Amino acid sequence: MKKIAVFTSGGDSPGMNACIRSVVRTGIYHRLEMYSIMYGYDGMIRGDIKKMQSHSVSNIVQRGGTILKSARSQDFRTKEGRQKAYEQLQKFGIEGLVAIGGDGTFTGAKVFFEEYGIPTVGCPGTIDNDIYGTDYTIGFDTAVNTALEAIDKIRDTAAAHDRIFFIEVMGRDSGYIGIECGIGGGAEMVMVPETKTSIEDVVRSLKGLRKSKTSSIVIVAEGDEAGDASQIMEKVKRHFQNDEKEFKVTTLGHIQRGGNPTAMDRLLGSRCGMAAVEGLLQGESNCMAGVINDMVVYTSFEDCISKEKPLKSDYLKLQEMLSI
């Protein structure tokens, strides 16, 4: 293998640039020709591909987002789109790919490999920490710390006015951001997709907490089955109609995706990037390079996509115990 290309796809996450840097420089270290593909699969279809040098990735390890840009490609979902992408890669003589992204990225890479056989190794780039085959995903630690900074500030104003705040964090299918923010931010309740929490349970808990606390914070993952933070707040308020207690909602939104990556995400991105390139050179393909128990492991795209990553049960117990 002489030529490898790297691209980012799907939602951006802090630490992607550290991963890109690691992929490019690991490849150059092994005397490979390294290429980048702009705008993910869309750029692959258009042939938006350029050769990378070591200096091409200088001064990016500390930056959030992705210098290679990202896009969700509808064309790549079609056979015709994937055929065009393959033809573009052939023009440049690219023999291997490093795909940085999440479920959607790996699903596309798996289908592409099955059709055209270009070896691909993925790196888990998503803030949700919902990828099977790695303890943590690139960007998750930064997202939690960004959210915690906001939660700490909201806690101050909640306490000053004796308010109940419902704070919505990202996590459409995974409650990892929610539960870690709940524990780290001292939240009174956490609502995540993995567990069922009824409105009655929320009301009962908040009324019980009022005996010892004048303000409360409820963390809501955006994918909770009871609804988003605004919907849940409105349902809860109906049970406090004769109460002067104030209810407020804050949706943190995409602020969680931005910002400089933490040391942990820079290191994780760098390790996964190196492992992806060296995995390709060792014959790995159609898989993701992740880190479990501080060891680099390779997990098939099939497992990454199909197997669920359960929320740690001790986190749920810890949250319940610490909220009393």
Residues designated catalytic: 128
**How much of the chain exceeds pLDDT 90, in percent?**
89
Q: What is the pTM of this model?
A: 0.95
- Asked whether the CA dihedral 16, 65, 90, 52 is positive or negative, the reply is negative
Q: Which residue has the tokens 């040391």?
A: 263
The chain-wide mean pLDDT, for the chain, equals 95
pLDDT digits (tens, 9 = 90+) for 202-242: 999 988 887 788 899 999 999 999 899 999 999 999 988 77
* pLDDT attached to residue 115: 97
Give the residue-averaged pLDDT of 318-322.
92
Q: Which two tokens stand for residue 258?
A: 């931005």
Please name each of the domains of the chain with its CATH number: 3-139+261-306 (3.40.50.450), 143-257 (3.40.50.460)
Q: What 3-state DSSP class applies to 251?
A: strand
- Output DSSP code: residue 36: E
Q: For residue 259, how far is the Cα from the chain centroid?
A: 14
pLDDT digits 0-9 by tens, 31-54: 999 999 999 999 999 999 999 999
